[in-house]
Structure 1
Amino acid sequence: MAEYKWQSKEAIKQVKVKHKDSKKFNVDTSLTMDKVYDVVNETEEYLFIIDDHQKIGGFYKTYFDEV
């Protein structure tokens, strides 16, 4: 499965957290404001990054600005 290789995959681009206001999901423990993260995979709605727990996480694109 491709997602098992994402941890060692080269970054596609970098994004910076612009907000972590979420009513449905708990993202404030996984993301740090104004921190730049490497994107390892992207879909139409989500960005997959290595979060603060050093695990791959899928987050809505609305949380980020492209660097």
Structure 2
Amino acid sequence: MAMLHETWKTRTPIKKVEVINTDAKKFTVSDMLTVGKQYDVINETEEYYQIIDNSGLVGGYYKTYFKEV
């Protein structure tokens, strides 16, 4: 049986979010997220969205960077 993260790229997105800022205190996210761009949410936790980011891979980001579309 495949692990959940191994199937994320082939899963149906659960919603769309739009980046509203890339003002990260600790990490640089502006290379992976584009303000104003919409991304498909593959998985969601209480604090994070897992999306397919600008690298083409699934990454986890704080929800504070996004608004729901």
Q: Name stretches of at least 5 consecutive residues in structure 2 with no aligned partner.
A: none
Aligned: 1:57 with 2:59: yes
Q: Which has the larger radius of gyration?
A: 2
In the alignment, residue 27 of structure 1 is paired with which amino acid?
Answer: V
Aligned twin of 1:45: 47
Superposition RMSD on alpha carbons, in Å? 0.4
Using the size of structure 2 for normalisation, the TM-score is 0.95
- Separation in 1 of the partners of 2:20 and 2:30? 12
Runs of 4+ in 1 over 6 A off after TM superposition: none
The number of aligned residues is: 67
Q: Percent identity among equivalent residues?
A: 52
Q: Give the C-alpha shift of residue 24 in structure 1.
A: 0.2
Q: What aligned pairs does 1:25-36 form with structure 2 within 5 A after superposition?
A: 25-36=27-38
**3-state SS, counterpart of residue 8 of structure 2:** helix
Q: Give the C-alpha shift of residue 26 in structure 1.
A: 1.0
Q: Name stretches of at least 5 consecutive residues in structure 1 with no aligned partner.
A: none
Using the size of structure 1 for normalisation, the TM-score is 0.98
